[in-house]
Amino acid sequence: MTHDHEAISETRSTTMKRIATSAGIIEYADEGAGPPVVFLHGLLMDHEVWDAVIPLLPSRFRYIRPVLPLGSHRIPLHDDADLSMDGMVGLVAEILDTLDLDDVTLVHSDWGGALFLTALGLDRRVGRMIVLPCEAFDNFPPGLPGKMATLAVRLPGGIALAARQLRIGWLRRLPLLWGWMVNGPVDPAQMRRWTDPVLTDSRIRRDVTKYVTTDFDGAELIRRTEALADFDGDALVLWAPDNRVMPPAHGLRLADLLPRGRYVPMPGAAVLPMLDDPQAVATAIGAFLTTARTES
């Protein structure tokens, strides 16, 4: 497997790079220099969910945003790629390995699978973590939108139908879709970019279906989340207590579980605070990055 990092041009403003993993090619944005901070994202979105936050963060860090195969990726992975929950968690670890990153600050949002790196013994490159509202404990798939997405993927043509509905403003604002994900409007052009891959490429639909059709066991999910009690790095839980998808109690529970966890509420935000209030998110993340680095 090659570990070459190939820069490619994009029609959008951020120049993307590519790495080869055992599952296939992964694209990622890579900006700045210094200690690495890796931002993750959720289903049917990509690295651009962080676009408004990145320019507001301290300049002395390296910000890396991989595009995970969760439906908005533009390069299909290998036919035989394992994109189940365990496969996805392993892929995150492999991305960190392939990029040869150490003492990573890993930022979780919406998709909570990477919280399981510790449970699976794959967190050796993670030194700190920041946890925004995301799946945790037995909240897989999360709330009403997550259960709707799971149902859609399991129905013939369901994921394409759901993607088309996300492009229609009044439908997108329904609780079943994105109505509980953000409190403000969503850029229609952004949503078109996020839904293009599943609408235009059956291989992308195949990839995301592999993950969404994973069978989850509630007791095992809780056990894996609770393994974070063994994570000894600094942790910031930046939770939105008013959201209706990721239980408010989970944010407090995660902060208590993590030995060096700290809880900071994001009142007024929904599941994606980086879209609702990018300045507040950037301020909290920036303070954590600089303080944790100074005290370590």
Put simply, whether the predicted model's pTM sits higher than 0.85 gets the answer yes
β partners of residue 128? 105
- At 13, the pLDDT band (50, 70, 90 cuts) reads low
Rounded to whole angstroms, how far apart are CA atoms 51 and 274?
Answer: 9
The residue among 130, 164, 129 whose CA lies nearest residue 281 is 130
Phi and psi, residue 244, nearest 5°: -115, 15
6-139+216-295, superfamily in CATH?
Answer: Alpha/Beta hydrolase fold, catalytic domain (3.40.50.1820)
Q: Which residue has the higher pLDDT, 173 or 45?
A: 45
Rounded to whole angstroms, how far apart are CA atoms 169 and 186?
Answer: 9
Q: Which two tokens stand for residue 188?
A: 């229609």
Tell me the per-residue pLDDT of 84-103, one tens digit each, with 9 for 90 and over.
999 999 999 999 999 999 99
> What is the Cα Rg of the chain in Å?
18
- At 174, the pLDDT band (50, 70, 90 cuts) reads confident
For the chain, give the number of residues: 296
Rounded to whole angstroms, how far apart are CA atoms 11 and 95?
Answer: 24
Q: Is the peptide bond before 133 cis (omega within 30 degrees of 0)?
A: no
DSSP state for residue 50 in the 8-state scheme: G
Neighbours of 12 (CB within 10 A): 11
Question: For 28-37, 214-223, 225-234, which range has the lowest pLDDT when averaged over its residues?
Answer: 214-223
Q: Tell me the three state secondary structure of residue 244.
A: coil
